[in-house]
Structure 1
């Protein structure tokens, strides 16, 4: 549905919830805080960007992948529209998230060319699987070769790839294997998107070692929180708002400062934003609900950065 800035401000005023679009003082070091738009894909680009701006964010991290906010087969037409919506709201499109794992796969070159054309500087890759029945090291060598192929394309286009550590049994879960895969690749165009949530799940106490190991390669950061909860006699992971889970953010940001890491941040909201009943509400009402939650996480993150002296 059509959505204008004027209509957005009017709707927020009716709700008694208008906030300045740039109301948050930045820490001494200017951290770019973007937000992953996956949980907000029910919004069109304009509504999404107005909401992100009102929450105090600086940019949008669009998923440009199958089922994403921008579909790979429509990237040439739709990514410029998504980027234009961000610019109109005063936001950047420094980051995007893809499923790319090989320079030769369908849509890879088209996605990266379109991204470079609208000013995107970093793209998250998909996740590699370990090959069944083969030594783990063989899989890491195969992945290393694919990253080097992408690195050549990155240099041609002036764009940077980021491999995210993700809890589980794919490559990058333990972080140490991620380092083995990427250690001989120049971090100038190929690096790591470090995710402290997933690192905490895999290494509750040892994550600082993995962080230090890959620190030279980190070019983007993901921030989100999680906790273990017991359900039906089993412990499962439950995503939470920032500061309500088990991630030790004071220790994390202290380590970030110690290692002199400074990179664009992608804030992820993976906890429930709308109940099933709320999902049936009109878009304007749903927007007000998610905006309040998003704004709370942005403020929490800014407070954490400031408390760490970052």
Structure 2
């Protein structure tokens, strides 16, 4: 069935009702859950990672379950339960993961989703689609949308939710508008969007609030990170920085989030340098403390905004 304007408005209303804010029915909004992306901490084993995240005041871990990640796809049945056990031991939650999944028929897709669902993980970020070569852009988006529908059937089977991230660049989803065109006919209960305000700012410095409103019914997780343009060798390039030191207007973003009734799990990304070359050679405990200080600063900053 086509996803019409009427469907859009109805879905928006239902989505807003699912996450009531303070003042509705006299109830306070549930507390925000802040998880953290494990990619920058690949040198840590599960226990050290979880010890560090818990000390920083985080609620959970967003593990990389993909080639080169904390959990390898071919070892997911053995290693993901160990990774989740470490999270629970540290008093945190494991409800999110980041994968490279693009298609329901890929070799490890069902193994990953079945194992993750069994461990209580509810959301997984997908990989990114490329546009089809020598084909019109809209044809690419409709083709990718069909892949999402097939993946949605598998998500429904395991009661887990895919999240496609809007990521700056030239892949599908860099622009929230083409992401909407791809996903508009997909069931948002099982396949949605991991909205990234950093990448949305890069692609639409002033227009991102419009894209946020458009994609709102599909948002099931949020990414928080910061960046700024800097000049190097006569060219402007993006430099990732700690929260509050870049160009992302977080005050405006969280106002929009509140107005739109968005209340979903948050994953914090630290994409800037955590250890210098010299610091990488230090003993593990010293490296852990350096990283922990930077992580806690971002966590505290984010908690201040969310409060």
Length-normalised TM-score, structure 1: 0.89
CA deviations 1:141-174 (Å, max 9, x no partner) are 1111110111000001010000000000100001
Q: CA RMSD in A?
A: 0.8
Q: Distance between the aligned counterparts of 2:249 and 2:276, measured in 1?
A: 28
Which residues of structure 2 form unaligned runs of 5+?
A: 1-27
* 2:57 match: 56
| Superposition map of 1:11-160 within 5 A | 29-160=30-161
TM alignment of 1:105-254, pairs within 5 A: 105-254=106-255
Q: Measure the CA separation in 2 of the matches of 1:301 and 1:287.
A: 21
- 1:17-67 deviations in Å (ceiling 9; x for gaps): xxxxxxxxxx96400100000000100000000100000000000010000
> Within 2, Cα distance between the matches of 1:113 and 1:281?
39
1:201-237 per-residue CA deviation (whole Å, 9 max, x = no partner) reads: 0000000000000001000000000000000100000
Does structure 1 residue 268 correspond to structure 2 residue 269?
yes
Distance in 2 (CA, whole Å) between partners of 1:105 and 1:255 is: 37
Q: Which runs of 4+ in 1 moved over 4 A?
A: none
Q: Distance in 1 between the 2:140 and 2:65 partners?
A: 26
* Alignment match, 1:9: none
Q: Which residue of 2 aligns with 1:8?
A: none
- For residues 78-109 of structure 1, the C-alpha deviation after alignment (integer angstroms, 9 at most, x for no partner) is 00000000000001011000000000001000
Q: Provide the C-alpha distance between the structure 1 equivalents of 2:58 and 2:130, rounded to a whole number of angstroms.
A: 33
How much has 1:271 moved relative to structure 2? 0.2
Counterpart residue number, 2:5: none
The aligned residue for residue 284 of structure 1 is 285
Helix, strand or coil for the counterpart of 1:266? strand
Partner of 1:305: 306
Tell me what 2:15 maps to.
none
Report what 2:3 is aligned to: none
How far residue 132 of structure 1 moved from its aligned partner, in angstroms, is 1.6
Q: Deviations for 1:250-271, whole angstroms, at most 9, x for unmatched residues? A: 0000000010001000000000
Counterpart Cα distance in 1 of 2:30 and 2:249: 21
Equivalent pairs counted in the alignment come to: 280
Listed one character per residue, the Cα deviations across residues 255-308 of structure 1 (whole Å, up to 9, x for unaligned) are: 0001000100000000000000000111100000000000000000001111xx
Q: Deviations over 1:175-197 (max 9, x none)?
A: 10000001111211110000000
Q: How far does the alpha carbon of each residue in 1:97-138 deviate from its partner, in whole angstroms, 9 at most, with x for none? A: 000000000100000011001100000000000012100011
Counterpart-to-counterpart distance in 2, 1:283 and 1:222: 28
